[in-house]
Amino acid sequence: MTRVFITIDTEYSSGLYTGPSAADRADNFARSIACNTPQGPAGVTHKLEVLAQYGQKAVFFVDPMPALIWGVAAIEDIVGPIIAAGQDVQLHCHTEWLGLAGASVPLRLSTTGHDLADFPFEDQCAILDYARTTLIAAGAPAPVAFRAGNYGADDNTLRALASTGITYDTSHCPALVGASACRIGLTAEDRDPIGHMGVIEVPVGTIGTIGGGLRHAQITALTLAEMLSAIRHARDGGRCNFTLVSHSFELINRRKLAVNPIVRRRFGGLIRALATMRGVTTGTYADTPPAPRLTGTGQEPLPASPVRTGMRIAEQLLSNTLYGSL
């Protein structure tokens, strides 16, 4: 049985932040969490409804750092519906909010930075302790898994997670090694869960690209056909885990507040297909966490296909032209 982890980074947008007022928070929530549009909501509530309709599980990596500005209630509004729906809440962290909060930050840090990896080990421990404590205060169970905002973790992050009591990290994206903010000491060849720096690192899924590269398994980066082919390839090759990435706001254009029907169909089609796919189930870190590979070299990713690649390029062009970027 191959367990698919549908991971959803659930976060207010620091890029849309305009001030500390309640009205600013409400607007950010509407654009980044609820994703309210004239066509109806397409954010967290919508995803919870689709998951419930087909009896599937997902992992919501919730960022509690905006509580620095808007208080814990801003995070309770996110965590509450997810827990009520019986889904998994784990820890996310965008350190950009430290700069936005300025002098009001209740942490003594030795430096500033954009990503978690910009901070020394001691500062990362303090940041992660604050984030963990805040997430629990917002109603979530004690988290056991983490993903850094922007994938911006390093080996010190993993050591800090271990010291905080968090067992799993999923910030390593093999397809983006050298092209993202991640500085974890793993390579593009590390594509299966592996023990590293005191935690179990769970890499984001990949597929092969024409020319020998890799493409990351994100809802906005792959077509539905590519995602399903990658999952079947993992199942048929005996891979135990496959991780997909999404975001709370990915089904809309946040600035235009308009649904992107192409990406919305991808998400719905994925959940519907997983409900009936033989030999595949969806998992959570709370109940069915990924297991590290103990032997062997691991399975190669789904090979590149000129047909699938061509269809993706055409679909992405249509999506970006008609509906714009996130």
Give 13-53 pLDDT, tens digit per residue.
Answer: 999 999 999 999 999 999 999 999 998 899 999 999 999 99
Q: How far, in Å, CA of 83 to CA of 207, rounded?
A: 32
pLDDT value at position 140? 98
The overall average pLDDT reported for the chain is: 95
Q: What is the pTM of this model?
A: 0.97
Number of other residues whose CB lies within 10 A of the CB of residue 27: 16
Residue 174: closest CA among 222, 216, 209, 227: 216
CA of residue 312 relative to chain centroid, distance: 21
Residue 197: closest CA among 160, 223, 165: 160
| 8 Å CB contact between 250 and 43 | no
pLDDT value at position 297? 64
CA torsion angle 21 62 161 299 (round to 10): -150
- Residue at token pair 């690209």: 209
Query: What proportion of the chain, given as a percentage, has pLDDT over 90?
Result: 90
**pLDDT at 220 > cutoff 80:** yes
What does the pLDDT look like over 71-94, one tens digit per residue? 999 999 999 999 999 999 999 999
- At a CB cut-off of 8 Å and minimum separation 6, what does 246 contact? 6, 7, 8, 9, 47, 218, 219, 220, 267
Residue 295, both tokens: 């032997």
**pLDDT at 298 > cutoff 80:** no
Q: Residue 85 half-sphere exposure, CB side, CA atoms within 13 Å?
A: 25
- Residue at token pair 């000491």: 185
Confidence of residue 256 (pLDDT cuts 50, 70, 90): confident
Kindly indicate whether the domain formed by 2-323 is annotated with CATH number 3.20.20.370: yes
pLDDT value at position 295? 59
Q: How far, in Å, CA of 235 to CA of 243, rounded?
A: 13
What H or E segment, with its residue span, contains residue 235? helix 224-236
Q: How far, in Å, CA of 137 to CA of 139, rounded?
A: 5
Q: Which long-range contacts (CB under 8 A, 24 or more apart) does 263-269 make?
A: 263/219, 263/220, 263/319, 263/323, 264/42, 265/224, 266/219, 266/223, 266/224, 266/227, 267/47, 267/50, 267/219, 268/50, 269/224
Residue 284, both tokens: 């959570």
**pLDDT at 326 > cutoff 70:** no
pLDDT value at position 104? 83
**pLDDT at 123 > cutoff 90:** yes
- Residue at token pair 């999923």: 170
Average pLDDT over residues 266-276: 98
Query: What proportion of the chain, given as a percentage, has pLDDT over 70?
Result: 98
Least confident of 134-143, 167-176, 227-236, 286-295: 286-295
Least confident of 41-55, 102-116, 147-161, 233-247: 102-116
Average pLDDT over residues 176-184: 95
| 8 Å CB contact between 243 and 283 | no
Max CA-CA distance within the chain?
A: 54
Q: Give the DSSP per-residue string, 101-131.
A: HGGG--S--S---SSGGGS-HHHHHHHHHHH
